[in-house]
Amino acid sequence: MSKKIKSVIEEMNSICLLVSDLLKVKTANHSSIALSRHVTIERPPTGSIVPQDRKLYGRNDIFEQTVNALTGGTYHDKTLSVLPFVGPGGIGKTTFTQHLYNDERIKGHFPVRVWVCVSTNFDVIRLTREILGCIPGTNTSTIEPTNLDQLQTAIAERLDSRRFLIVLDDMWTCKSARDWENLLAPFTTGGTKGSMILVTTRLPSVAQMVKTTDPIELHGLEPDDFFALFESCIFGHNKPRLYDDDLVNVARDIAKKLKGSPLAANTVGRLLKKNISWEYWMGILEKNEWQSAKNDDDILPSLEISYNYLHFHLQKCFFYCALFPEDYKFYDLEKITNFWIAVGIVDSSCRNDKNYLDELVDNGFLIKNSDRNGEYYVMHDLLHELSRNVSSQECVNISSLSFRVNDIPQSIRHLSITVEDKYDESFGREICKLRSVIDIGNLRTLMVFGPHDAETGDILRDAFEGIKSLRVLFIPSLPGSLPKSFSNLIHLQYLTIMPPSDAGHCLYLPRTLPRFYHLKFLDLDGWFGWECNVILPKNISRLMNLRIFILPKNSIPVFLRSER
């Protein structure tokens, strides 16, 4: 038998090589295959010239602070300082840096200024050659330097101890710390202090590697500044007379959905300027039409470049983040890791070695923050839209306020529902149609977020009658929201039950729970500080694969001697 298994594995390995070539993926090592795309990303080149109509909206305070820091005494005690600007795609890093670069105070302070677009190809010789070509010099040799040493020597000679400002725009990677040191080498030899390198990047990991001072993080514009930018993207400098209060209100409603992103303002502005009418604009608002825009400089295509640049395992983690509501706070690394294990994208054997949330932070997809409940991770707003977009054929998060069953693809296997406090009739009608569109029996994930009343609970229970293949079930209350076919979920691996606020002092777990042989994670920690007794069913010891059992704080588990 072992020889047959070995033979099958060898045949599979030969096929994997062919498939890897076809899909442009590579193997990480001999013992395990980690898919990682060879991504060739064509990035548009950038230059230092600010287009005449590109005003800098908002960020006046941080702009003035940065100018004062560059020209004042902040960096004058160091020969060379590196200041990164970091933020998601389309947030305005290049525009901000262009305005800095062309500010008269900056021009007067730095006799030598150089702008180089790095993009995804961090080649030390190429970048050094481009920088050299941008530095004016006297008595320059007509012989073109050919190797790194000659290029570096030529740069040092041309700088001639003059203070300089170098912008490395749109930097995605650097192969090693040695490459970065080689690039910086000719700029650290002069006697003049206060020279600066500005780096713009989407990736916090790149910013951390190159920085010598704290990076400047750029986020979305404030609402008033963003709306001024948004209007300029639609009308330029001249608003038409037909731009009345009704259109202004629609424009404001659209602007709220764009999360302060200048790129989003440009994308949607192009759509709205095609037809300045209330009916057309309302259609744009209701259908979120900017999500289907396909030009390279539109919102989602631009952000998808970041997604394509991720390693394969991070792509899958980001993929399933679409199931969580917008602005969802991930407080517990262990819980989200357990979720990824249950849906089959993370190997449980390496759970202690990897913090995928931190890796997503390093790649600019999550923000790490804290509040009174502790540290948490949250997704950039427009990147949540990207997550929903790239996973749209498999994962859907339904909002009870805007749910239309005809918008859901038949291929969906992972479903989450965000419900409001009160029952909504249109939601009830649409959710009842759900089984006519998707195969309820083959759902792998079902998650319900948000408190809801008994009527909504009944609707959800009836709608999901017949589920049998779930690996993940997230139910916010007992017993009303449990599907009637709960006892058939023998493939379940992850179960989260949050007790309702009126549960009293006891939480009774379903008596059929011991049937779930494959259950690995049981989480009952839904109400912080809620004291209760958890009544465990008879024979719960049959859960041989259960690895993690999380109880509410201050709870007391009680074992029943007989079935309830």
Give the mean pLDDT of the chain. Answer: 83
Confidence tier at 29 by pLDDT (50, 70, 90): very low
556 vs 529: CA distance, rounded Å? 13
pLDDT attached to residue 560: 56
pLDDT at 57 over 90: yes
397 vs 380: CA distance, rounded Å? 17
pLDDT attached to residue 103: 95
Q: 396 — phi, psi (to 5°)?
A: -140, 135
Residue of 550 and 386 predicted with greater confidence: 386
- Only one residue has tokens 């979305």, namely 220
pLDDT attached to residue 1: 55
| Segments of 144-249 assigned E as strands | 164-171, 195-201, 216-217
Is residue 512 within 8 Å of 518, Cβ to Cβ?
Answer: no
**CATH 3.90.120 applies to domain 311-380:** no
Our CA angle for 218, 224, 229, nearest 5°, is: 70
223-299: what CATH class?
Answer: mainly alpha
Arithmetic mean of pLDDT, 305-314: 90
pLDDT digits (tens, 9 = 90+) for 328-379: 999 888 889 889 999 988 877 665 567 899 999 999 999 989 888 889 999 9
CB proximity list for 199: less than 8 A, separation 6 or greater = 82, 83, 84, 85, 167, 168, 171, 206, 207, 210
CATH 1.10.10 domain position(s) in the chain: 311-380
Amino acid letter for position 172: W
Token reading at 273: 């300027």
402 vs 63: CA distance, rounded Å? 39
pLDDT at 26 over 80: no
CATH 3.40.50.300 domain position(s) in the chain: 60-217
Q: 374 — phi, psi (to 5°)?
A: 115, -170
Residue of 360 and 290 predicted with greater confidence: 360
Arithmetic mean of pLDDT, 124-140: 86
Arithmetic mean of pLDDT, 489-504: 75
CATH 1.10.8 domain position(s) in the chain: 223-299
Arithmetic mean of pLDDT, 14-24: 46
492 vs 494: CA distance, rounded Å? 6
Residue of 94, 136, 146 whose CA lies nearest to 118: 94
pLDDT at 224 over 90: yes
Arithmetic mean of pLDDT, 246-263: 92
Arithmetic mean of pLDDT, 259-287: 90
pTM of the model: 0.80
Residue of 307, 66, 294 whose CA lies nearest to 203: 307
- Only one residue has tokens 């009608």, namely 429
Q: Mapped to the 3 state alphabet, what secondary structure does 40-106 carry?
A: CCCCCCCCCCCCCCCCCCCCHHHHHHHHHHHHCCCCCCCCEEEEEEECCCCCCHHHHHHHHHHCHHH
pLDDT at 265 over 60: yes
pLDDT digits (tens, 9 = 90+) for 83-117: 999 999 899 999 999 999 999 999 999 999 999 99
Residue of 419, 463, 459 whose CA lies nearest to 440: 463
pLDDT at 50 over 70: yes
pLDDT attached to residue 11: 59
Q: Give the least confident one: 34-43, 256-265, 434-443.
A: 34-43
Cβ-defined contacts of 231-240 (< 8 Å, 24+): 232/53, 232/55, 232/57, 232/269, 233/265, 233/266, 233/268, 233/269, 233/270, 233/273, 234/269, 234/272, 234/273, 234/276, 235/273, 236/53, 237/53, 240/276
The 3-state DSSP class for residue 367 equals: strand
CB atoms within 10 A of CB 243: 14
pLDDT attached to residue 467: 87
How far are the Cα atoms of 478, 499, 501, 533, 534 from residue 504, in angstroms, in the given order? 12, 9, 8, 9, 11
Arithmetic mean of pLDDT, 154-179: 91
Residue of 215 and 137 predicted with greater confidence: 215
Is residue 318 within 8 Å of 41, Cβ to Cβ?
Answer: no
pLDDT digits (tens, 9 = 90+) for 408-417: 899 999 999 8
pLDDT attached to residue 261: 92
pLDDT at 16 over 70: no
Token reading at 513: 């729970």
Specify the CATH number of the domain 60-217: 3.40.50.300
